[in-house]
């Protein structure tokens, strides 16, 4: 498995805590426990290390938290049972439990779990009468291990999302440039064709009937008609916008597992040449990124329409919602709101538990 820098950092943050195995291994080599107890303890320790490494490798491969409920149960049971059954030298499994929580759960839930694992380590130290240095160091290492893993995993997620946002922005920039060039081609070539047709009609009205002139005029008229058909196919921005939206929604749904449906009101959509594609595509990308990162939604509905000479894009999710008064916009949407305002557009966000709607309006 080949890992990029951020994913390798996740794996390193998980593996560094294997140093904690030195204490029970040294105790086992000393011969202080019976062969039966030692065999059971080593088997349990091997199980703990196995499930921990498996979860670490899966999270590193994804570069994000990877649910591992069975692994969490196994590590928790071993961490609690070993010190009580074999001896205090095996105290320290909570460090692996905290790190595994960081590898398996979203940030907030992971931090709550790490706090619980730290409390478990403190209670365990008191119950089995662990020596003072170990009774302090293990709970401290438990908290540190969990927080370090959470920070590294979160950084990996942000790095991946930034890379995806950059790719989306580059693709949208290419689409916008294609639309701009096509619009210029559409306007200039069509105007020249129209002028040429007028000149030809004027010339024909001044000359008498002539078979050769009529044939030439018919040929030019055919070329003009064909040119007009080509022009209509060069740039239909409405279809470009719809295609780009459908492509982005399909990719976003595939990546997040959240269904995203696009609805278009054909009777209300603005004429193709008036539809502002670039700003609306950018808003869609920003809004969907926020849904994936913060909303916890199970589905998203996207609607494209035209109202009062403006193109309108609505994105609604059924996520947890947020307080618009306290946190009205993320950095991305705040930037888009300012950009739209500079160009005569608006961006509105309405949110309540179970429903958040982003509405972008742009003048034709």
Q: Which residues of the chain have pLDDT under 70?
A: 1-4, 23-34, 86-87, 89, 175-176, 178-241, 266-278, 325-333, 364
Q: How many CB atoms neighbour CB 179 within 10 A?
A: 21
Burial class (CB in 10 A: 0-12, 13-18, 19+), 159: middle
Q: Taking the CA atoms of 229, 230, 235 and 239 in sequence, report the sign of the dihedral they define.
A: positive
> For residue 243, what pLDDT is reported?
77
DSSP state of 145: H
> For residue 315, what pLDDT is reported?
92
Residues 141 and 286 both lie in one domain: no
User: 165 in a domain, yes or no?
Assistant: no
User: 192 in a domain, yes or no?
Assistant: no
Residues 13 and 147 both lie in one domain: yes
Q: How far is residue 229's CA from residue 237's CA, in Å, rounded to a whole number?
A: 16
Residues 241 and 155 both lie in one domain: no
Q: How far is residue 24's CA from residue 88's CA, in Å, rounded to a whole number?
A: 9
Number of domains in the chain: 2
Residues 258 and 112 both lie in one domain: no
> For residue 213, what pLDDT is reported?
60
User: 208 in a domain, yes or no?
Assistant: no
Phi, psi (degrees; rounded to nearest 5) at 327: -140, 75
User: 320 in a domain, yes or no?
Assistant: yes
Residues 12 and 125 both lie in one domain: yes
Domain stop point among 160, 187, 217: 160
Contact 270, 311 (CB under 8 A): yes
> What pLDDT digit, counting tens, does each position of 211-249 carry?
566 666 666 566 556 555 555 544 444 446 677 788 888
> For residue 229, what pLDDT is reported?
54
| Angle subtended by helix axes 277-290 and 237-256, to nearest 10 | 10
Domain stop point among 95, 126, 160: 160
> For residue 41, what pLDDT is reported?
76
> For residue 266, what pLDDT is reported?
61
User: 214 in a domain, yes or no?
Assistant: no
Residues 240 and 343 both lie in one domain: yes
> What pLDDT digit, counting tens, does each position of 132-164 carry?
787 888 889 899 999 999 999 888 888 877 877
Residues 151 and 241 both lie in one domain: no
Residues 156 and 19 both lie in one domain: yes
Q: How far is residue 364's CA from residue 360's CA, in Å, rounded to a whole number?
A: 13
User: 176 in a domain, yes or no?
Assistant: no
Residues 156 and 271 both lie in one domain: no
What DSSP string describes 196-246? HHHHHHHHHHHSPP-HHHHHHHHHHHHHHHHHHHHHHHH--HHHHHHHHHH
> For residue 129, what pLDDT is reported?
77
Domain stop point among 137, 160, 183: 160
Domain that holds residue 94: 5-160
Per the structure block, which two tokens stand in for 147?
């927080």
Residues 244 and 152 both lie in one domain: no
> For residue 237, what pLDDT is reported?
47
> For residue 143, what pLDDT is reported?
93
User: 177 in a domain, yes or no?
Assistant: no
Rounded to the nearest angstrom, the gap between the alpha carbon of residue 345 and the centroid of all alpha carbons in its chain is 26
Residues 14 and 153 both lie in one domain: yes
Nearest to 248 by CA among 280, 281, 272, 277: 281
Outline where 235-359 has alpha helix (H): 237-256, 277-290, 331-342
CATH number, domain of 325, equals 3.30.565.10
Residues 70 and 154 both lie in one domain: yes
- Partner residues linked to 313 by β-bridges: 304, 360
User: 315 in a domain, yes or no?
Assistant: yes
């Amino acid at each position: 498995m080949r890992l990029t820098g951020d994913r390798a950092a996740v794996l390193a943050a998980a593996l560094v805590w294997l140093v904690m195995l030195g204490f029970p291994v040294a105790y086992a080599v000393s011969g202080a426990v019976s062969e039966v107890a030692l065999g059971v303890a080593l088997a349990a320790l091997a199980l703990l290390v196995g499930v921990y490494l498996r979860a670490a490798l899966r999270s590193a491969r994804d570069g994000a938290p990877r649910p591992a409920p069975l692994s969490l149960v196994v590590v928790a049971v071993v961490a609690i049972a070993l010190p009580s059954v074999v001896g205090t030298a095996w105290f320290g499994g909570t460090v692996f439990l905290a790190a595994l929580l960081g590898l398996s759960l979203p940030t907030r839930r992971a931090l709550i779990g790490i706090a619980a694992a730290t409390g478990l380590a403190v209670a365990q130290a008191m119950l089995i009468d662990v020596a003072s240095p170990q009774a302090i160091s293990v709970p401290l290492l438990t908290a540190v291990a969990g927080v370090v893993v959470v920070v590294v995993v979160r950084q990996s997620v942000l790095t991946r999302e930034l890379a995806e946002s950059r790719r989306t922005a580059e693709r949208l920039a290419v689409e916008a440039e294609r639309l701009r060039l096509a619009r210029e081609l559409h306007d200039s070539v069509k105007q020249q064709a129209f002028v040429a047709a007028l000149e030809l009609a004027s010339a024909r009205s001044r000359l008498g009937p002539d078979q050769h002139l009529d044939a030439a005029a018919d040929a030019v008229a055919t070329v003009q008609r064909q040119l007009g058909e080509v022009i209509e196919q060069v740039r239909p921005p409405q279809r470009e916008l719809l295609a780009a939206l459908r492509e982005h929604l399909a990719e976003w749904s595939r990546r997040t597992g959240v269904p995203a449906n696009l609805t278009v009101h054909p009777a209300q959509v603005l004429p193709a040449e008036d539809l502002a594609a670039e700003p609306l595509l950018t808003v869609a990308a920003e809004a969907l990124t926020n849904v994936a990162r913060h909303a916890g939604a199970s589905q998203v509905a996207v609607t494209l329409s035209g109202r009062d000479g403006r193109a309108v894009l609505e994105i609604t999710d059924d996520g947890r919602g947020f307080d618009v008064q306290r946190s009205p916009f993320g950095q991305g949407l705040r930037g888009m709101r300012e950009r739209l305002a500079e160009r005569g557009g608006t961006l509105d966000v309405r949110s309540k538990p179970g429903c958040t709607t982003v509405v972008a309006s742009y003048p034709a």
